Structure 1
Amino acid sequence: DFLLLVLLMEKKMSDMASAVLTEFRLGGKLCDVVMKVGDAEFNAHKVILCSCSSYFRALFTGAWATSNKQMYTIPGVTPEMMLLIINYAYTRSITVTEDNVLEVLATADQFLVPGIIHACCLFLEEQLCPKNCISIWRLVDFYHCPELKDKVFYYILHRFEEIVCASQELLELSVRQLGAIVENDHLNVKRENTVFEAVLGWINHLPEQRQLYISVLLRKVRLGLMTPSYLQNNVIDNAAIKDCVECTSIINDAVTAFMDFRANGCSKSVYTNLLTRPRLPSTILLVTGSVDARCAPNFMEAYDARADSWVTVSTERIWRTHHGAAVLNNFVYLIGGCSHEVYLKTVQKFDLVTRTWHQVAPMYSHRCYVSVAVQNGCIYAIGGFNGHTYFNTVECYKPETDQWNMIAPMTTKRCGASATTLNGKVGEVVDDQLFVVGGHNGSTTLLAVERYDEEAGMWYSASDTEMPRSGLSCCVLHGLYDVAEDLFPRGPLTEEEPQLC
């Protein structure tokens, strides 16, 4: 409350100062510069203009500036835009609309006013849709707004199929810009046919000027992901492609890669060859390991809901069963489990970008049927079984130090439980909570649910489930925090202080 009061007072004082300075400017009081734009002249204070623009700082304080000069003629701007810049310097506020955003952004770029550029970028981001995203991307690229440019680019990648159907702006891209979109691994398309047809449409829009780029763009299309019939009927038999020697070579490479994939399955060459490398979906479901130690170990596979297909992500065999898995910072962690009847405490991580495996620090305890959850940048390994003992102990892994630490133990020993985190906002910020549900303690299947409060470093009881469950799965359904509160009350498990690491 005190901080809020201070902030309100500061804003009030700032508003008062702004009003006084604006009054001085309009009355010509203490002004030391006149900005002349065409027939219009604007009184101002140099120090105020310098505070918002490096253009004015250079103009008034550069080596060529003289302290006694008061009149400056400013070319290349309208009086309306100059007044807008001056008003912003005094008030730090500006109104951006659909009608003026282009002119305001151009003027702010000319006079190097980052505050106005930022306001324009916020406005453009709010207006973003499939019909205008291409023109906004080109605009912010021209005026060098890198943060918004990246956001719009990823919007284009994610909504590409909608953009192709809803907008003709794609046809106005340069070959460099279209190539950057088409070659990106994150381009979100169900079928590669969409990409090829977009390229073909771009070329046919201005065939005489663009036909020479057909081979440049065709090699960026994942031809090896097309069905044989589509590749033959729509690509190979296309007249424009038939007439291009470079395209024939590209298609031969794609067919060779496709046949290699059919014969040898998913190998490293598939991922290094741009013609056959699967595009990366925005959301995937990863499957690792197996449940039977006697079976041959499995590869890691990913389900792409967008394309309704499974893709082999890693060809390295995973010698683990009944392990825990977690995703943190674009790494997939495989934790504990069993391998050939040996209980493991080792941990592997898989880099989703480079598709390589790495060993990380092992846990303190061997844990099979371990429950795993991620919370606030840390991985929690909860409970488990080492062949002799059922654990109530919990370990916490911090990737920045590559270390596991023991934290407060649960009250109940359990393996085969399910762990998840609950993060919610209902009027106020709710602390992150980690829940462990059910499991088995060696003699019985459990109803008990426990909740870990990271800030307090303590485990608390939560309402039991109606049925005992082991080997279960659970998840958080967003928007039902009140229900979660009823199900998981906040009573403490014990009055004893937990053992902290």
Structure 2
Amino acid sequence: MHRLMKEESSYRASSLENASRDSSKEQLHMKLCSGSCHAEQILQTLNSYRQSGIFTDVVLLIEGQEFPCHRATLSANSTYFRAMFGSNLKEGHQEIINIQKISASTMSLLLDYMYGGNIIIQEDNVEDILELSDLLQISKLRDACVTFLEGQLHPCNCLGIMKFADSFSIASLTEKSKRFMLECFVEVSCHEEFLEMGVKELVEYLSSEQLVVPKEEVVFEAVMRWVRHDINARKGALKDLLEHVRLPLLDPTYFLEKVEMDGLIQDSKECIPLLHEARKYYILGNEVSSLRSRPRRFMEMSEVIIIIGGCDKKGLLKLPFTDLYHPKSRQWTALSSVPGYTKSEFAACTLKNDVYISG
């Protein structure tokens, strides 16, 4: 009888062990599927506790408004609060913590994010949210604000966004804003932000090799528009700005009618050497060696190399081909062949922007 009971007990234990093994896969599967839901449930419960003041152990005082919170939740979200509550700082042991220079409405949005993981970022709150997330060192939210601002770049606001990015040392956003400004200079120069920039900033952009303009007339008009926005304060900077305008590349007729006849330029003796340089270029062409006589990198004009004629490897067969090589694009373009190439040799020279062959 005793032996029978012992065998039955062993059988039950074995069956229970087998049942546990069989259900282990199902339990593991349930954990994987319910993990995020479980975390969300916990956050929802904590948020309801916060709103009801249950188990809260600290109060944030902002603009006279009190926000009861849980130290653990704040610390889990923010490096700033984690350092505060985990150290011997006076604020870490206070029941009420007064935080200055931030808005209560923005803090309310961030607390909703901390307790719920959701926040609506839009044009009218992105700067405040970024500023506060930067202060509280909530990196994920800060990065989301940066991404939002990158998507909002426009000719009317890129300079303002760049200044904002500079103030928070956001290098990626600063660089993208600057590149956007240089690539969309024509449109940017027509907006109010452009007219409000400082002279040093403007000189930096005008001298950049990344400036994209279809023709130099656009640059000249932008400079004159900037100066005339506050003539009395800015006319003294005219010469420094025009040094970065490539006057020799202006159309000669435009130069005579718009530049030489401009009253502000005529009144500035400092600008006279720049006008002389442009006139000299119109007469002598490439003989004038100056950075201002070189086309900008992204202009419709560019420096090229032209190969004219030549012969085969043995020097017996003369070639009629004329080819153009574009160094920046690394492309070859076939031009018109040389007429009468078999009858005579020839010399080549350039004047202004033309190539002459004689012989």
TM range (shorter): 0.5 to 0.7
Q: Does 1:34 align with 2:32?
A: no
> Separation in 2 of the partners of 1:38 and 1:246?
55
Q: What residue in structure 1 maps to residue 235 of structure 2?
A: 211
Report the structure, 1 or 2, having the larger helix content.
Answer: 2
The 10-residue stretch of structure 1 (120-129 or 35-44) with the greater mean CA deviation from structure 2: 120-129
Task: Give the distance between the partners of 1:90 and 1:296, measured in 2 at CA.
Answer: 78
- Report SS of the residue matched to 2:121: coil
Which of 269, 283, 288 aligns to 1:245? It is: 269
| Cα deviation digits, residues 476-495 of structure 1 (max 9, x gap) | xxxxxxxxxxxxxxxxxxxx
Percent same amino acid at aligned positions? 28
Q: What CA distance in whole angstroms lies between the structure 1 residues aligned with 2:143 and 2:243?
A: 37
Structure 1 residue 45 displacement after superposition? 2.9
2:98 to 73, 81, 84: 73
Kindly tell me: are residues 205 and 24 of structure 1, through their superposed partners in 2, closer, same or farther at Cα, counting changes over 3 Å?
Answer: same
Give matches, 1:343-422, under 5 Å.
Answer: none
Q: State the shift of 1:67 in Å.
A: 5.0
**Please, which moves more after superposition, 45-54 or 78-87?**
45-54
Structure 1 residues 464-479: aligned runs within 5 Å: none
Partner Cα distance (1:6, 1:204) in 2: 69
CA displacement, residues 164-206 of structure 1 (integer Å, 9 cap, x when unaligned) = 45x3332122223322322222222111111111111111011
User: Does the 8 Å CA contact 1:54/1:111 hold for their aligned counterparts?
Assistant: yes
Structure 2 vs 1, CA of residues 60 and 258 (structure 1 numbering), >3 Å: closer, same or farther? farther
Query: Contact 2:295/2:301 (CA < 8 Å) preserved in 1?
Result: no
Tell me the distance in 1 between the aligned counterparts of 2:88 and 2:104: 27
Aligned length: 296
The change in CA–CA distance for 1:287 and 1:246 in structure 2 (over 3 A counts) is closer
- 1:201 partner amino acid: R
* Structure 2 unpaired stretches of 5+: 1-29, 313-318, 333-359
Alpha-carbon distance between aligned partners in 2 of 1:206 and 1:285, rounded to the nearest angstrom = 35
Cα distance between partner residues in 1 of 2:274 and 2:152: 40
Deviation at 1:108, TM superposition (A): 3.3
TM superposition shift of 1:12: 3.9
Q: Is the 8 A contact 1:258 1:276 kept in 2?
A: no
Q: Do structure 1's residue 279 and structure 2's residue 296 form an aligned pair?
A: yes
Structure 2: distance between partners of 1:240 and 1:284: 29
What is the 5 A alignment of 1:126-145?
A: 126-145=151-170
Structure having greater relative contact order (Cα 8 Å, sep ≥ 6): 2
Deviations for 1:272-296, whole angstroms, at most 9, x for unmatched residues? x2x2332222999999897986359
Q: 2:40 aligns with which of 15, 29, 48?
A: 15
Distance 1:29 1:211, change over 3 A: same
For 1:231 and 1:62, locate their aligned partners in 2 and report how far apart those are by CA, in whole Å. Answer: 69
CA displacement, residues 319-348 of structure 1 (integer Å, 9 cap, x when unaligned)? xxxxxxxx8xxxx699xxxxxxxxxxxxxx
Match of 1:468 in 2: none
Residues 295 and 302 of structure 2 are in contact (CA less than 8 Å); yes or no, is this contact kept in structure 1?
no
CA RMSD of aligned residues (A): 3.9
The two structures have a TM-score, normalised by structure 1, of 0.50
For residues 234-273 of structure 1, the aligned pairs below 5 Å read 234-255=258-279, 261-263=285-287, 273=291
Correspondence for 2:129 = 104
- What TM-score, normalized by structure 2, do the two folds share? 0.67
Cα deviation, 1:25-84, whole Å, max 9, x if unaligned, reads: 334455432211233222223343344444434443456346533321112222212222
C-alpha spacing 1:277/1:286, structure 2 compared with 1 (3 Å): closer
Gap change, CA 1:8 and 1:151, over 3 Å in 2: farther
1:105–1:117: 8 Å Cα contact kept in structure 2?
A: yes
Higher strand share: 1
In structure 1, give the amino acid aligned to 2:182: L
Question: Could you tell me which amino acid in structure 2 is paired with residue 37 of structure 1?
Answer: I
Q: Which amino acid aligns with 2:248?
A: G
